[in-house]
Amino acid sequence: MKEKLFERLENYYKEMVNIRRYLHQNPELSFKEIKTSAFIAEYYKRLGVEVKTGVGGNGVVARIKGGKPGKTVALRADFDALPIHEETGLPFKSLVPGVMHACGHDGHTATLLILARVLNEMKAELSGEYVMIHQHAEEYAPGGAKPMIEDGCLEGVDVIFGTHLWADGPYGNIRYRKGPIMAAADRFEIIIKGYGGHGAQPHKTKDAIVIGAQLVTNLQQIVSRRVSPIESAVVTVGYFVSDNAFNVIADNAKLGGTVRTFNEDVRSMIEQEIERIVKGTCIAAGCEYEYNYYRGYPAVVNHDAETDFLVDVAKEIPENTLIEESKPEMGGEDFAYYLQHVKGTFFFTGARPDGVEQGYPHHHPKFDINEKAMLAAAKTMGLAAIKSAIE
């Protein structure tokens, strides 16, 4: 069974690459993936596989029933792109100005489509049922996972697996972790309402820029002095904007940033601490403020038994030459929502391009992946799914 799975995936590797490159040339932004969704659905229709479109928005879900009784296993791939203008110079670079697959979601989709083709060809020999979740809008909260779950994509599912092609890791690398592997990703916005005036008469104003500068400094004390050193957290101010006339003291200033955490108690505490610091700083300056905190994806928390199982499966894949425990990543992923409903695990598949010591980071205009990693991911996910389905 394993050898047949591997052989058929290898036979379709060229098609996998062609699909990835087509998607790379035709990226679509989160919540706007109309053509991508249609492309995925049409692929399944040609295979004669049961497929449902419009799941939770632009999501697509296909189901393949094995010939023997067994468990129901879900596999997930996302397919949205980013608002980035591509600078790779690849012959299959994006044809859409300002939009690019800069995170590997084109590879995720190609991987799952070819894996589905092989599972469908082998279905008479397989146990259980396989649910292929093609998810829209991973890149932009509130994301596509939650509405897809609400629309029934996990109905009857016993276990779920997902992977991310990871350009930071070399080809052949599988990184796993029990418990939290990716952080909760929130954002905040602060508007300081000062009292502007002439740049030569600061005593008649309440300088929003000076107050904002104090705020940037004060916010740094949350992680260093309010979060236990045993816990991990990030508070980053990503922008600080105001009026730009050289001789005017600003009336208003706007700050915004992100908060990353693994522990829900720490997450709530930081949300409250930001407002406490904003309030205190503005009271001291005699000005008003607005504060908004937007909760994004929760932390991705892998289940222990399923992660151990995945590690054992990964060792059976010839391409996986470096299997190691991952440090927690502060990036966010809405795969977290699936793991709140069913058991499963999310892992990283090394996809650093050949010949470089360090690939361009995810979300960079020159980002690229090692396409061979798609085959490693398909074998790992496929074998995990087949073995999980056996009762």
Dihedral of alpha carbons 321, 323, 324, 326, sign:
positive
Whether 24 has a binding-site annotation, put simply, is no
Whether 303 has a binding-site annotation, put simply, is no
Whether 287 has a binding-site annotation, put simply, is no
Buried b (16+ CB within 10 A) or exposed e, 140-162: bbebbbbbbbebebbeebbbbbb
Strands 343-350 and 197-198 come out as: unpaired
Which residue type sits at 267? Answer: R
Secondary structure class of 198 (helix, strand, coil): strand
Longest alpha-carbon distance in the chain: 82
- Radius of gyration, CA atoms only, the chain: 24
Q: What backbone phi and psi angles, to 5 degrees, belong to 173?
A: -95, 130
Q: How far is CA 246 from CA 71, 200, 201, 243, 249, in A?
A: 67, 11, 13, 9, 8
Q: Which two tokens stand for residue 311?
A: 């590690």
Whether 85 has a binding-site annotation, put simply, is no
**DSSP notation for 116-171:** HHHHHHTGGG-EEEEEEEEE---SSTT-SHHHHHHTTTTTT--EEEEEEEETTSPT
Whether 164 has a binding-site annotation, put simply, is yes
**Residues catalogued as catalytic:** 80, 138
Positions at the binding site for Mn(2+): 103, 105, 139, 164, 363
Positions at the binding site: 103, 105, 139, 164, 363
